[in-house]
Amino acid sequence: MIKIKVSYESPEELMRLLAVLGDRVESWKVSRNQEGRYRKAYIILRV
């Protein structure tokens, strides 16, 4: 299992990243704090 934290500006960017990672994504969660220029998401990948 690999955990990564990503920063993005728009939901479309996050969806593109998830599409690139494809079937390796086990789960993902958007941070509750969405203030500021960048938003955060946490992604768990299968190895």
Cα 44 from chain centroid?
9
Rg (the chain; Cα; Å):
11
Tell me the per-residue pLDDT of 1-47, one tens digit each, with 9 for 90 and over.
Answer: 999 999 999 999 999 999 999 999 999 999 998 888 999 999 999 98
What is the residue range of 16's domain? 2-45
Measured CA to CA, the distance from residue 47 to residue 32 in angstroms comes to 27
Q: What is the pTM of this model?
A: 0.86
Domains identified in the chain, total number: 1
Task: In whole angstroms, give the CA distance from residue 11 to residue 30.
Answer: 10
